Amino acid sequence: MCSGSSYGNAGLIVPSHCIPLSEPGVIGQGLRWMLDPESPFYIKPRLDRDLMSWLWKFNQSCTKKHVERSAPVLREMHLDSLKRYAEFSENLDFSFEHRGSFYACNTESGLQHKIEDARIAGRTGIHTEVLGPEGIAKLIPETPLTAVGGVYYPEDAHLQPAQFVRALAKEAQRFGCSILSQTQVLGFETADGRVRSVRTTRGVVLADTFVLAAGSWSPVVVRDLGLRLPIQAAKGYSITFKRPDPCPSIPIMMSEARAGVTPMADTLRFAGTLELAGLDLTINQRRVDAILRAIPTYFAELSADSMKLIEIWRGLRPCTPDGLPLLGRTEAYDNLIIGAGHATIGISLGPVSGRILADVVIGEETGYNPAVLSPDRFG
């Protein structure tokens, strides 16, 4: 009842992530990182028409204008989800904690970059605090942190993602929802511009409305319908340990390493990297090792050797070229609704995306400009 990136992600609800993945300068940084097989960002070289098209669109989105247009939308979506998570936590147990997050920088150049990000986030209304070593020691007194400074985002929160998904599924079943687990989509039956049914390994499912929310596999699932969704799978890794003592009390982003650490109940999870390698679920140990080597450069009292390993995980995050999800009806079929492309912020945007899709199904206004999130916006 819980798999893929819904299971092993960093568990972050992050209004701080209101800057889209496609921002100015990311292409140049990515090209430099491509020469390093252990870098935080990697594109597996391959002749792939969809990848080339995606990279072209991604490059076109890496503009200041796109960031200024998209950041307020992402801010509202994150904050909407945060409110709903708080409401969920009143009745469901998923280790929800609303204590903020901290972006730690161990270089001056990294700190200046994060301060600029904080300025952009601040212009959208996100609260930020730039801290030096003394402020860091007060914020995180439980464990020494090696950093010249960083940015604290008090509105961020965190949870245990698998625990949340399972609790939500049980709640949905309690209200009469049927969930077919371990069921594969084989194809669709269509007529007169509508999807009539979906063929699965457990039989044919008939419905008036269909919602596609298949993550990185969404483009494959809808290929039978003649649709091309601009989504590339971005592999990420997480390494979960038994919670050590001492342990950070809030999520901390190791900025230069492009990795983070999240305390989750009785565990501590490190997560990071962005690897565009298609639907490839193999584990690249060198990339795992790169995350583990970053730990003691930020945390003097923590190392992989000093903690009890529980699990090494990898999953595929569905990335769109402009960093915004695909949410809404597609013109190709008037009863097909798309909900995919949330990249690395799927758990944070989950509740608001669910509300938007529900409003689309019943024909209500979503509160968001439909063109900005339209599944057809790339043509």
Task: Report pLDDT for 37.
Answer: 64
Please check whether residue 325 lies inside any domain of the structure.
no
Tokens of 298: 């930020």
Give the CA count within 13 Å in the CB-facing half-sphere of 54.
23
Amino acid found at 349: L
Please check whether residue 81 lies inside any domain of the structure.
yes
Task: Report pLDDT for 69.
Answer: 92
- Which stretches in the chain have pLDDT values below 70? 1, 25-38
Please check whether residue 368 lies inside any domain of the structure.
no
121 is in which domain, residue-wise? 5-164+231-319
Please check whether residue 331 lies inside any domain of the structure.
no
Contact 347, 11 (CB under 8 A): yes
Please check whether residue 209 lies inside any domain of the structure.
no
- CATH code for the domain of 22: 3.30.9.10
Please check whether residue 155 lies inside any domain of the structure.
yes
Q: What angle do CA 145, 161, 123 make, to 5 degrees?
A: 60
Number of structural domains, the chain? 1
Per the omega criterion (within 30 degrees of 0), is the bond before 370 cis? Answer: no
Task: Report pLDDT for 4.
Answer: 81
Task: Report pLDDT for 229.
Answer: 96
Task: Report pLDDT for 256.
Answer: 92
Please check whether residue 333 lies inside any domain of the structure.
no
Tokens of 149: 């400074």
Please check whether residue 139 lies inside any domain of the structure.
yes
* DSSP structure string for 283-306: --HHHHHHHHHHHHHH-TT--GGG
Task: Report pLDDT for 41.
Answer: 77
Task: Report pLDDT for 21.
Answer: 82
**Extended strands (E) in 278-325:** 309-319
Number of helices (H) and strands (E), helices first, in the chain?
A: 11, 17
CA pair distance 355, 80, nearest whole angstrom: 10
